[in-house]
Structure 1
Amino acid sequence: MSCVSRFFTTFSTTGGGSAIGSAMIVGVCLGGLNALPAHAQSDKYIQWENWGELIPGDDGCTPQYATATHAAMSEIAARNAECGLIGFLVDHLLIPNELDTECRGPGGNTRSLLEWIRYGSIMEDDTFPTLRPFRHFYDPTRDRGLTDDVPFVYTSSLLWAYNDSGNDWDWVAAREYYYQYLTDSSARDREYACARLFRSIGHVAHLIEDKAQPQHTRDDAHGPFEGAPYEEYIGDLYGTAAEIDAMLGNLVEWNGATRRYSVSHRIPTFNVLPALDRNEEARHLTRWFKAFWDTEQYQGQRPFGGFSNTMGMAEFSNFYFVTDDTMFTGDERVSMPQGYTAEIPRVGQNDMHYFAYPTLGSLYTVDYPANLSLVSLGRVGEGVGSDRNVWFDDFGLYIPNYCTERTYEWDDDTGHARGRIGFFGTRHDPNNWDAHAEVLLPRGIAYVSGMFDYFFRGRVDVRVSWDDQQSAFVLDITNRSGQTLRNGTWELYEDDDNHSRHRVRRADFGSYSGSLGDGQTFQATFQRSSNNARPLTLVFRGGIGEEQGSAIAARAFVATN
Structure 2
Amino acid sequence: MKTHEDLSGYAADHSVLGKDNQNHLKYLGFAKGLQERLRLGRSKQTVKDWIKEGAELEDDGIKVTGRFRNHFHHPLKDWDEAGLNDLIFTGQSALLWAQDSHAQTSAPSGDQSWETLRFFFLNALTAADPMTRERNYAKTFRGLGHQIHLLQDAAQPDHVRNDAHIHDGTTGERPRRPEWGLLFETWAGHDNQKSLIESFAAHADFPQVYLNLSIPDELVPISQFLDTNTYNGSFPSSRLTQGIAEYTNANFFSDDTIFSADERPPEHRHYFPYPNIASTNLQDYTDGHLLPKTTTAEDRVEDISFWISKTGDGDYIEHFVKPTYLSKGSIR
**What range describes the TM-score normalised by the shorter chain of this pair?**
0.7 to 0.9
Residue 69 of structure 1, CA deviation: 1.0
- Residues 236 and 274 in structure 2, CA contact (< 8 A), matched pair in contact too: no
What residue in structure 2 maps to residue 150 of structure 1?
88
1:203 equivalent in alignment to 2:159: no
What's the secondary structure of 1:353's corresponding residue? coil
- Name the CA shift for 1:420/1:75 in 2 (closer, same or farther; >3 Å): farther
- Name the CA shift for 1:309/1:74 in 2 (closer, same or farther; >3 Å): closer
- Name the CA shift for 1:101/1:239 in 2 (closer, same or farther; >3 Å): farther
What residue in structure 2 maps to residue 310 of structure 1?
241
Q: Could you state the TM-score of these two structures normalised by the residue count of structure 1?
A: 0.48
Q: Work out which of the residue numbers 181, 187, 198 in structure 2 matches 1:245.
A: 198
What's the secondary structure of 1:400's corresponding residue? strand
Q: Which amino acid counterpart does residue 38 of structure 2 have in structure 1? A: C
Q: Work out which of the residue numbers 45, 59, 70 in structure 2 matches 1:135.
A: 70
In 1: Cα distance, 2:117 partner to 2:322 partner: 43
Q: Work out which of the residue numbers 7, 10, 13 in structure 2 matches 1:76.
A: 10
1:404 equivalent in alignment to 2:310: no
What residue in structure 1 maps to residue 231 of structure 2?
298
- Residues 100 and 113 in structure 1, CA contact (< 8 A), matched pair in contact too: yes
In 2: Cα distance, 1:320 partner to 1:305 partner: 7
Matched pairs, number: 294
Greater strand share, 1 or 2? 1
Q: Work out which of the residue numbers 297, 313, 328 in structure 2 matches 1:395.
A: 313
Residue 233 of structure 1, CA deviation: 2.1
Residues 464-483 of structure 1 aligned to structure 2 (within 5 Å): none
Give the number of the structure with larger relative contact order, counting CA–CA contacts within 8 Å between residues 6 or more apart. Answer: 1
Q: Which has the larger radius of gyration?
A: 1
- Residues 75 and 117 in structure 1, CA contact (< 8 A), matched pair in contact too: yes
What residue in structure 2 maps to residue 384 of structure 1?
290
- Name the CA shift for 1:179/1:275 in 2 (closer, same or farther; >3 Å): closer
In 2: Cα distance, 1:117 partner to 1:419 partner: 44
What residue in structure 1 maps to residue 101 of structure 2?
164
In 1: Cα distance, 2:114 partner to 2:314 partner: 33
Residue 396 of structure 1, CA deviation: 4.5
- Residues 138 and 216 in structure 1, CA contact (< 8 A), matched pair in contact too: yes
What residue in structure 2 maps to residue 482 of structure 1?
none
Q: Work out which of the residue numbers 45, 49, 52 in structure 2 matches 1:118.
A: 52
Residues 215-230 of structure 1 aligned to structure 2 (within 5 Å): 215-224=158-167, 227=175, 229=182, 230=184
- Name the CA shift for 1:313/1:273 in 2 (closer, same or farther; >3 Å): farther
Residue 248 of structure 1, CA deviation: 5.5
- Name the CA shift for 1:186/1:275 in 2 (closer, same or farther; >3 Å): closer
What's the secondary structure of 2:73's corresponding residue? coil
Residues 105-504 of structure 1 aligned to structure 2 (within 5 Å): 105-106=40-41, 108-128=42-62, 130-142=65-77, 143=79, 144-150=82-88, 153-167=90-104, 168-224=111-167, 227=175, 229=182, 230-237=184-191, 240=194, 244-246=197-199, 265-270=204-209, 276-277=215-216, 281=217, 284-286=218-220, 288-301=221-234, 304=235, 306=237, 310-331=241-262, 345-346=263-264, 348-365=265-282, 376-377=285-286, 384-387=290-293, 388-405=306-323, 407-408=324-325, 418-419=326-327
User: What do the CA deviations read for 1:255-302 (whole angstroms, capped 9, x no partner)?
Assistant: xxxxxxxxx72211125999744xxx2xx323x31211112221224x
- Name the CA shift for 1:316/1:275 in 2 (closer, same or farther; >3 Å): farther
Give unpaired runs (5+ residues) of structure 2: 105-110, 177-181, 294-305
- Residues 272 and 295 in structure 1, CA contact (< 8 A), matched pair in contact too: no
Residues 11-30 of structure 1 aligned to structure 2 (within 5 Å): none
Residue 176 of structure 1, CA deviation: 0.8
- Residues 364 and 377 in structure 1, CA contact (< 8 A), matched pair in contact too: no
Q: Which amino acid counterpart does residue 190 of structure 1 have in structure 2? A: R
Q: Which amino acid counterpart does residue 267 of structure 1 have in structure 2? A: F
In 2: Cα distance, 1:159 partner to 1:89 partner: 28
Q: Work out which of the residue numbers 35, 38, 41 in structure 2 matches 1:100.
A: 35
In 2: Cα distance, 1:363 partner to 1:197 partner: 44
User: What do the CA deviations read for 1:488-531 (whole angstroms, capped 9, x no partner)?
Assistant: xxxxxxxxxxxxxxxxxxxxxxxxxxxxxxxxxxxxxxxxxxxx
User: What do the CA deviations read for 1:516-558 (whole angstroms, capped 9, x no partner)?
Assistant: xxxxxxxxxxxxxxxxxxxxxxxxxxxxxxxxxxxxxxxxxxx
In 1: Cα distance, 2:127 partner to 2:233 partner: 47
- Residues 89 and 96 in structure 1, CA contact (< 8 A), matched pair in contact too: no
In 2: Cα distance, 1:185 partner to 1:421 partner: 72
In 2: Cα distance, 1:247 partner to 1:88 partner: 21
In 1: Cα distance, 2:200 partner to 2:233 partner: 32
What's the secondary structure of 1:111's corresponding residue? strand
- Residues 54 and 146 in structure 2, CA contact (< 8 A), matched pair in contact too: yes
Residue 85 of structure 1, CA deviation: 2.1
In 2: Cα distance, 1:321 partner to 1:75 partner: 25
In 2: Cα distance, 1:420 partner to 1:119 partner: 46
Give unpaired runs (5+ residues) of structure 1: 1-65, 250-263, 332-344, 368-375, 409-417, 423-561
Residue 321 of structure 1, CA deviation: 1.0
In 2: Cα distance, 1:398 partner to 1:320 partner: 9
In 2: Cα distance, 1:219 partner to 1:395 partner: 21
- Name the CA shift for 1:377/1:296 in 2 (closer, same or farther; >3 Å): farther
In 2: Cα distance, 1:401 partner to 1:237 partner: 22
